[in-house]
Amino acid sequence: MKRSLQQIAEAVGARLLGEGRVEVSAVASIESASPDDLVFVENEKHLLAALQSRAGAVIAGEFAASVACDRPLLVSDHPKMAFARAARVLRGESPRDVPPLDGAPQQGSAHATAVIHSSVVLGPCVLVEERTVVGERAQIGKNTRIGAGCAIAPGVKIGDHCEIYPNVTMYPGTTLGDRVIVHAGAVLGSDGFGYVRDRKTGHYEKFPQVGRLVIEDDVEIGANATIDRGALDETRIRRGTKIDNLVHIGHNCQIGEDVVIAAQTGLSGSIVIENGVVLGGQVGIGEHARIGEGVMLGGQGGVLPNKVLRGKGVAFWGTPAQPVRQYLKQLATLARLAKK
């Protein structure tokens, strides 16, 4: 939908320089922008390219405030964040909350092929798409969309303003907070990989997997990610964490706030990831390990079971993971030895 630059500036907290009545309808890259698009630049060296593009307006840092140009500017101390929020405004959303979905009926609606138990509680403006099954006593909060082919087990609770994409499966004992996004094919609350070996026969018997999974507000979960419920207690994903595609999180894990986990990472059971941790792609972490607040673990890094990594803002790399400078020194030493 079209919005005036004045509306966008007020919504994202940017300073408007130029004509505020100009309207844009979408965001784009500098290369592909049209006169109806909004673009952004974080670095002064890219400003000229943005100003020479076909974009209707530009979001830029304070470095652009003194530049004379023929098109409106939105000046922000964090242009990329302002651009992301502007994109939400142009999609009909608020940058801090999500209003009712466009076109969603006020009383909620389910496709004719959806199967919803009579005891399910649907909030206002809920939309349930085709072939979805929702089990008894499940609860779905207002302005939430459930995509086609989802399987929502009995007793599952989903908060307000959530977006559940097609073919997501939620097992019993799963709870989602508000504004949670779950991409296609994710499986939430499945049994953990827990077995007990019979010492006499060598056979494995399943350890009880009767806990729950709690996903707090503003979490995003990528396509085909899998998160196991707790064995006896709970697995918890705390507020604001972002999980990429094809990530596996084992039972009893405790993931802190604002954690970022990149694709193909695998976490064994009973791991603690503290607030603000960043895990690169294909990271592997053994059971009962702990990753301290603000640690950054590079791609394909490995943490052995029961180990603890600490150091806010410290980058770790390698297997077993160690501070990146130390790891690179070891690689350089090995390279010199190989030449000899």
Among 95, 93, 97, CA closest to 1: 93
Cα gap 81→69, rounded to integer Å = 23
Cα gap 16→96, rounded to integer Å = 20
Tokens linked to 212: 């729950």
Cα gap 230→251, rounded to integer Å = 5
Among 288, 247, 285, CA closest to 270: 288
Supply the residues annotated as catalytic: 251
144-181 b/e (C-beta count within 10 Å ≥ 16 → b): bbbbbbbbbbebbbbbbbbbbbbbbbbbbbbbbbbbbb
Among 305, 300, 332, 336, CA closest to 316: 300
Helices marked H in the chain: 5-12, 47-52, 79-90, 324-339
Tokens linked to 163: 């977006």
Residue with tokens 């072939």: 131
Helices marked H in 180-248: none
Look at strands 23-24 and 3-4 and give their pairing: antiparallel
Q: Are 183 and 163 in contact (CB under 8 A)?
A: no
